[in-house]
Chain A
Amino acid sequence: MSDSLGENTLTTTSPEGPSRAGGGATTAPSPARRPRRPADWRKRGEIALLTGPAVVMFLAFVIFPVIMAAYYGFFRWKGFGPPTDFVGLDNYLAIFRDSTFHDALMHNGFIVVMSLMLQGPAAIALALLLNQRMRGRSVVRVLIFVPYVISEVIVGTGWALMLRTTGALNDLLEKAGLDALTADWLADPDVAIWSLMIIITWKYIGFAVILFLAGLQSIPEELFEAAAIDGASYWQMQRSITLPLLGPTIRIWAFLSIIGSLQLFDLVYIIWGQYVAATAGTSTMATYMVVNGRNAANYGFGNAVAVVLFLISMVIALVYQRFVLRRDTEGALTERKKR
């Protein structure tokens, strides 16, 4: 597998020799001065040498496992020895008939939508706020990224202790005289998914803010100066300059957020464990996969779930790229050729 692509990169470069000699003179004058053939071989060698290790690693540990998942998914297999018990599409049929999987899928859908709606507007507002001149801005920036930097396990452990019935949140509510608001934040199926949304928002909003801040900083200052001369107010400038120019960043963030929500595993598995998640109404496709695949020593089935998760993510990613990201990425990849 890995070897074949190593060759592939080489073979795809070879027919390019003559075409490059023609176009090379106009685009890159310096290599053209050297004798062509040795330089070409050298270039190919350099390309293979420099990209080889990364390509091999990537194919071996990212692409190969994904392909193997598709293969294993057709077997009933306990994970030892070669898979022999071919069951065709049985695993997939079992997945689509399983109501716990439907629940997990619904939860993922809810998390995707709510993550965008909760984090997006809040993160844009915060990025605008933190882009202003204020004392202690750098300290504030570091502090709001703390939740994003600490691990899911720490977040999960800490929040689980705070949210348990005898935890800090209920205690605070009682002290404030809001007994009516106390709840079984983690076990009550009506409440648990909202607790999860709060934790997710708290954990990941820092990342959105980082991205938006970076996006804001690359908006040319002159635009705001011109707008100020024309008498635009602060809010008019944000609406007519900042938001449109921040568009590409927002679209990329939304993409990453959607994919992240579909693949959500760590927080749910840590807080709700492998058995409670389904009953508390917070299970996701990924926790379903681990619980029914690896933990049940049913690797064929687990791989089939992985394939379903993969296909759902890929369809959504492709649709999103086709209809939303298209104008952003178009320039990035084709730019060189046009020149």
Chain B
Amino acid sequence: MTASAVTAPPLPADRPVRRKRGGGRLGRSGPMTYLIAFFFVGICIGPVAYIVLGGFRSNSQIITSPSGFPSPWEIGNYLDVLSSEIFWRQMGNSAISAIATTLGVVVLGVMASYVLARYDFRGRTALYSLFAAGLMFPMTVAITPLYILVRELGLMNSLPGIILPQIAFALPTTIIILVPFLRAIPKELEEAAAIDGASRLGFFFRMVVPLSLPGVITTGILAFIASWNSYMLPLFILNDEGMYTLPLGVQAFSAQYSVDTARVLAFTSLSMIPALIFFSLFEKRIVGGLTGAVKG
């Protein structure tokens, strides 16, 4: 198991070679393959296209023909949203909480995973199981007391009030993905570093952190996207439109302008852009990172 995880991080370099070799197994991409792929992509993209295109239509266009294309194309809705202060405010709130959550998860996650992967001590398995158990219990179960806890801490209606719980709830996934990565770093490297006089902590900062970068990026992206999309926690914690993150903003906006469908669609499609850009930049990394985790 560890052996398979060893091959996971450096995959990008040797994968193309393997792919060519495996031509026999992977071949068979006839017209049917493309047809099915095309159809499936259409289903996946259709509703998203409806949202984006709907933003380019006027309300009267949407009422007369709900499923039509924009004619003529109206950019007024998008310009309205882009020039509104509240949109940028909420975008900023989302960005701050997503970046802070990501940094927190990555730093705490790498530290804890390093110990779980490479230190031998009693209670190691128990500690790992404790974090793994967290995977079973998403925020839904703890949300009511969590809300009370955040209120007691005086963090209601503030970004730290959502950042801290998000870090805690992202730790299990992060640790489960990172532990196999860190375990895969060869023991010989550690011994060589020790001979050269590096302490365990020195080894951690000089070797472990750079070598585990693929896994770290994967977990970082997952944490970022989860935070960007998070709904339930902000719903409980934030109660002022100026503090809202984008998901709450979208909902408030669509309640407020429920008759102005076109503007709601424009607001909605603008709010998904950052997560989409982020994901498409790192898509290969995510699949690569999970390859190590699934096997490990």
Do A and B associate with each other? Answer: yes
Tell me the A residues contacting B by CB distance below 8 Å.
8-9, 12-13, 15-16, 20, 27-30, 42-44, 46-47, 50-51, 53-55, 57-58, 60-62, 64-66, 68-69, 72, 79, 126, 129-134, 138, 140-147, 149-155, 157-159, 161-162, 166-172, 175, 202, 206, 210-211, 213-215, 217-218, 221, 224-225, 228, 234, 237, 248-249, 252, 259-260, 263, 265-266, 270, 286, 289-290, 293-294, 299, 302-303, 306, 309-310, 313-314, 317, 331-336
B1 engages A335 (CB within 8 Å): yes
Closest Cβ–Cβ distance, residue B48 to chain A (whole Å):
6
26 contacts between A and B (CB under 8 A): A30-B190, A42-B200, A43-B200, A50-B115, A50-B204, A55-B112, A58-B172, A61-B169, A62-B142, A72-B148, A134-B29, A143-B41, A145-B283, A147-B47, A150-B229, A151-B247, A151-B272, A152-B229, A153-B229, A157-B250, A158-B268, A167-B66, A202-B44, A214-B291, A259-B136, A290-B143
Once bound together, how far apart are the Cα atoms of A35 and B149, in whole Å? 46
Determine which of B21, B172, B231, B276 lies in contact with A149 in the assembled complex, contact meaning CB atoms within 8 Å.
B276
A12 engages B1 (CB within 8 Å): no
A150 engages B54 (CB within 8 Å): no
B142 engages A69 (CB within 8 Å): yes
Q: Which chain A residue shows the least CB distance to B51? A: A158
Closest Cβ–Cβ distance, residue B105 to chain A (whole Å):
9
When A132-B27, A157-B250 are in contact, do A310 and B168 touch as well, CB less than 8 Å? Answer: no
Q: Which residues on B sit within 8 Å (CB–CB) of A154?
A: 51, 247, 250, 268, 271-272
Q: Which residues on B sit within 8 Å (CB–CB) of A43?
A: 119, 121, 200
A266 engages B232 (CB within 8 Å): yes
Q: Which residues on B sit within 8 Å (CB–CB) of A58?
A: 130-131, 134, 168, 171-172
B23 engages A69 (CB within 8 Å): no
Q: Which chain A residue shows the least CB distance to B248? A: A153
Which of A8, A43, A79, A133 is the most central at the interface, judged by chain B CB atoms within 10 Å of its CB?
A: A133
B67 engages A172 (CB within 8 Å): yes
Once bound together, how far apart are the Cα atoms of A28 and B288, in whole Å? 31
Once bound together, how far apart are the Cα atoms of A147 and B243, in whole Å? 26
A336 engages B65 (CB within 8 Å): no
B232 engages A131 (CB within 8 Å): no
A218 engages B123 (CB within 8 Å): no
B40 engages A126 (CB within 8 Å): yes
Q: Which residues on A sit within 8 Å (CB–CB) of B165?
A: 61
When A61-B165, A168-B67, A313-B141 are in contact, do A224 and B22 touch as well, CB less than 8 Å? Answer: yes
List 4 additional A-B contacts (Cβ < 8 Å) besides A61-B165, A158-B47.
A57-B167, A69-B141, A157-B51, A289-B140
A138 engages B284 (CB within 8 Å): yes
Residue B146 interfacial (CB < 8 Å): yes
Once bound together, how far apart are the Cα atoms of A290 and B272, in whole Å? 26
Q: Which residues on A sit within 8 Å (CB–CB) of B41?
A: 140, 143-144
Q: Which residues on A sit within 8 Å (CB–CB) of B156?
A: none
Which of A154, A237, A331 is the most central at the interface, judged by chain B CB atoms within 10 Å of its CB?
A: A154
Residue B78 interfacial (CB < 8 Å): no
When A57-B167, A57-B168, A62-B142 are in contact, do A15 and B122 touch as well, CB less than 8 Å? Answer: yes
Closest Cβ–Cβ distance, residue A36 to chain B (whole Å):
14
Once bound together, how far apart are the Cα atoms of A238 and B119, in whole Å? 40
Closest Cβ–Cβ distance, residue A220 to chain B (whole Å):
9
Once bound together, how far apart are the Cα atoms of A206 and B140, in whole Å? 22
Q: Which residues on B sit within 8 Å (CB–CB) of A225?
A: 21-22, 24-25
